[in-house]
C-alpha cells in the first residue's frame, strides 16, 4: 500500500479506488483491454464492424494563439462505467483525419476496452502538409486531456500514432513540458527518414507502358511538401499545391490504393485542365503520370539542410523517456518495414523500444485470416507476435 492509497498489482500497474465508481482499476482493466483488442483487432474480426457501448463527443479547444483556429477533437468513452486508461490518437497525412471510417472504428475499439480516447483533427496533416503545427496542435489536445480527465494519479496516458503521425507523436513525447506526463507511445506503420520513405513511395508501376508512379497520390504528397524545390515562385506554387490536394482527395474517394492506371490518368488530366497551361506539366509530374516525372522527382529527392528537423521523427529525441512500441506490417506497400527498423535503432538510443513486425496487417488494415492461411508454417509465430502487440497496446493506455 502506498501513501496515496494505490497498491502495486500485475503487469506493474497500480490499482487505485476510483472516487466516482468506487472500483479498483488495475489488473482487471488490463484483462478487459486485452480481451477487447484480441476480439476486435485480430485477423478473425470483421473489417468494418465496431463494438457497441461507446459514446463519441466533440470538443473545440481554444489554442490561445493569434490567427490559429480552434482545434476540433473527437472524444470517445465507454457508455457505462468510468474509464481506467487514456489514449491520444495521432492520424497521418489523411484528408479525413479522425473521420476516416477505419480510424473511427479503431477509436471505438479502444474506448470499448475501458479507455477514454482523444482524436484531434490535425488540419495541416489533413492538408497533407508536414509542419510543426501538427505537434503544436497535438500538445494542445494532450494538455486538455491531462487537465480534464480523471484518472489514477500514478497512471499516464498513451499516444498511438499512425504512419506519418509518428513525427508529431515523438516530438511531443520528447518535449520538456509534456514528455514526463506520457506513459508510452505506440507507432504503427511509422518511418525514420522522409527522403528514404519518399524514394520508396515514388517508384514506377511495374509493367505499365507509361511507367507512371505506383501510387500517384503518395507521389503528389511528396511533391507538395517539397514544392519549394519544384518552383521558388510562390504565385506558381500556391495553385500547384491546391491542385495536388484536390487530386489526392478525389483519388482517395474514387479509387482503392494503388489506383488503376487508366482511371488515375483521366483524373489527373481533369484536374490539370483547371490550371494555367504553363503549370500543367509540373502538376502532372507531381502526380507521377507524366513521361518526365522521375526526372522531376530526382530534383526534389535530396534533403535540404532543414529537412531533418522538419520531416524526420528521429530528430530531437534527446528528451524522450517514454517507452516506445513500434508495430509494422512486414509487407507494408506504403512505408516499408525497414523504416520502423531504422526508427527503432534511433529511439533505443534514448529509451526502451520494442519492435513488432507482423504479416497479419498492412499499412491501414488487417489482412484477415488470409494472412494466416498464406503462411501456415509461421501462423504460430504470427499469433504470438499479435499477442505481444495486444499486450503492449493494453499497457500503453495506463502506464
Integer Cα distance of 40 and 46 in angstroms: 8
Q: Where among 235, 270, 301 does a domain terminate?
A: 301
- For residue 244, pLDDT over 80 is answered with yes
Backbone dihedral angles phi then psi of residue 333, each to the nearest 5 degrees: -90, -5
- Stretch among 45-59, 213-227, 253-267 having the lowest mean pLDDT: 253-267
185 and 210 inside one domain: no
Closest CA to 329 of 350, 309, 355, 311: 355
Helical packing angle, 338-347 and 194-201, nearest 10°: 170
179 and 213 inside one domain: no
In terms of pLDDT, which residue wins out, 177 or 361? 177
Q: Residue 213 is placed in which grid cell?
A: 508512379
Q: What is the mean pLDDT of residues 67-95?
A: 93
Number of neighbouring beta carbons within 10 Å of residue 275: 18
290-307 per-position pLDDT tens digit: 999 999 998 887 767 678
In a domain, 310, yes or no: no
312-359 per-position pLDDT tens digit: 999 999 999 999 999 998 888 889 999 999 999 999 999 999 999 987
Q: What is the mean pLDDT of residues 304-311?
A: 80
Closest CA to 58 of 144, 173, 160: 144
**If 0-12 CB within 10 Å is exposed, 13-18 middle and 19+ buried, where does residue 213 land?**
buried
173 and 219 inside one domain: no
18-53 per-position pLDDT tens digit: 433 444 456 777 788 888 878 888 777 787 898 999
The domain total for the chain is 2
Q: What is the pLDDT of residue 214?
A: 87
125 and 37 inside one domain: yes
**Which of 209-213, 268-272, 375-379 is most confident?**
268-272
Backbone dihedral angles phi then psi of residue 119, each to the nearest 5 degrees: -130, 95
- CATH number assigned to the domain comprising residue 165: 3.40.50.1820
In terms of pLDDT, which residue wins out, 248 or 205? 248
22 and 146 inside one domain: yes
In a domain, 341, yes or no: yes
pLDDT band at 175 (very low <50, low <70, confident <90, very high): very high
**If 0-12 CB within 10 Å is exposed, 13-18 middle and 19+ buried, where does residue 330 land?**
middle
Backbone dihedral angles phi then psi of residue 326, each to the nearest 5 degrees: -110, 125
Q: What is the pLDDT of residue 7?
A: 27
In a domain, 236, yes or no: yes
137 and 279 inside one domain: no
In a domain, 315, yes or no: no
- Stretch among 62-71, 138-147, 260-269, 371-380 having the lowest mean pLDDT: 371-380
Integer Cα distance of 13 and 199 in angstroms: 42
Q: Where among 249, 267, 301 does a domain terminate?
A: 301
- For residue 259, give the DSSP letter: P
55 and 183 inside one domain: yes
Q: For cell 479507455, what's the residue? A: 115
In a domain, 194, yes or no: no
- For residue 371, pLDDT over 60 is answered with no
Are 218 and 357 in contact by the 8 Å Cβ rule? The answer is no
In a domain, 48, yes or no: yes
Domain of residue 372: give its range: 7-189+323-396
- Cis bond leading into 258, ω under 30°? yes
284 and 332 inside one domain: no
Q: What is the pLDDT of residue 254?
A: 87
- Stretch among 71-75, 150-154, 262-266 having the lowest mean pLDDT: 150-154
Q: Where among 301, 332, 356 does a domain terminate?
A: 301
116 and 27 inside one domain: yes
Q: What is the mean pLDDT of residues 101-125?
A: 95
Can you spell out the DSSP letters for 122-178?
-HHHHTT---THHHHHHHHHHHHHHHHS---TT---EEEEEGGGHHHHHHHHT-TTT
Q: What is the mean pLDDT of the chain?
A: 85
Report CA-CA distances (Å) from 386 to 59, 117, 273.
33, 22, 48
Integer Cα distance of 388 and 326 in angstroms: 12
Integer Cα distance of 166 and 150 in angstroms: 26
129 and 274 inside one domain: no
177 and 220 inside one domain: no
In a domain, 197, yes or no: no
46 and 153 inside one domain: yes
Alpha helices in 206-256 (DSSP H): 216-225, 227-230, 234-254
59-74 per-position pLDDT tens digit: 999 988 888 899 999 9
Q: What is the pLDDT of residue 309?
A: 86
Amino acid at each position: 500500500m502506498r501513501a496515496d492509497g494505490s497498491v502495486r498489482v500485475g503487469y506493474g500497474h497500480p490499482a487505485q479506488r476510483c472516487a466516482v465508481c468506487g472500483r479498483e482499476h488495475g489488473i482487471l482493466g488490463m484483462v478487459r483491454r486485452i480481451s477487447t483488442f484480441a476480439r476486435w483487432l485480430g485477423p478473425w474480426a470483421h473489417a468494418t464492424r465496431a463494438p457497441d457501448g461507446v459514446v463519441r463527443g466533440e470538443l473545440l479547444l481554444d489554442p490561445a494563439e493569434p490567427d490559429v483556429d480552434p482545434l476540433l477533437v473527437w472524444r470517445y468513452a465507454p457508455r457505462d462505467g468510468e474509464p481506467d486508461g487514456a489514449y491520444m490518437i495521432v492520424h497521418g497525412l489523411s484528408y479525413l483525419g479522425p473521420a476516416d471510417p477505419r480510424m473511427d472504428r479503431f477509436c471505438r475499439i479502444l474506448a470499448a476496452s475501458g479507455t477514454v480516447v482523444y482524436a484531434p483533427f490535425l488540419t495541416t496533416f489533413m492538408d497533407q502538409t508536414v509542419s510543426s503545427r501538427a505537434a503544436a496542435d497535438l500538445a494542445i489536445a494532450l494538455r486538455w486531456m491531462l487537465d480534464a480527465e480523471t484518472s489514477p494519479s500514478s497512471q499516464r496516458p498513451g499516444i498511438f500514432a499512425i504512419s506519418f503521425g509518428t513525427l508529431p507523436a515523438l516530438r511531443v513525447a520528447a518535449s520538456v513540458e509534456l514528455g514526463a506526463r506520457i506513459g508510452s507511445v505506440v507507432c504503427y506503420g511509422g518511418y525514420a527518414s522522409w527522403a528514404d520513405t519518399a524514394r520508396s513511395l515514388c517508384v514506377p508501376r511495374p509493367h505499365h507502358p507509361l511507367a507512371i508512379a505506383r501510387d500517384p497520390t503518395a507521389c503528389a504528397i511528396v511533391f507538395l511538401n517539397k514544392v519549394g524545390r519544384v518552383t521558388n515562385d510562390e504565385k506558381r506554387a500556391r495553385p500547384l499545391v491546391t491542385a495536388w490536394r484536390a487530386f489526392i482527395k478525389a483519388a482517395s474517394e474514387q479509387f482503392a490504393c494503388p489506383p488503376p492506371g487508366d482511371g488515375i490518368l483521366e483524373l489527373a488530366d481533369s484536374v490539370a485542365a483547371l490550371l494555367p497551361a504553363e503549370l500543367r506539366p509540373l502538376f502532372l509530374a507531381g502526380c507521377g503520370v507524366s513521361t518526365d516525372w522521375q526526372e522531376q522527382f530526382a530534383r526534389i529527392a535530396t534533403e535540404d539542410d532543414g529537412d531533418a528537423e522538419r520531416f524526420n521523427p528521429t530528430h530531437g529525441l534527446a528528451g524522450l523517456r517514454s517507452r516506445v512500441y513500434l508495430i509494422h506490417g512486414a509487407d507494408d506497400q506504403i512505408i516499408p518495414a525497414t523504416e520502423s527498423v531504422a526508427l527503432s535503432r534511433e529511439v533505443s538510443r534514448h529509451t526502451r523500444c520494442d519492435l513488432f513486425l507482423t504479416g497479419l496487417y498492412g499499412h491501414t488494415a488487417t489482412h484477415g485470416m488470409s494472412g494466416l492461411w498464406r503462411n501456415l508454417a509461421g501462423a504460430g509465430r504470427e499469433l504470438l507476435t499479435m499477442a505481444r502487440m495486444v499486450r503492449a497496446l493494453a499497457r500503453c493506455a495506463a502506464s
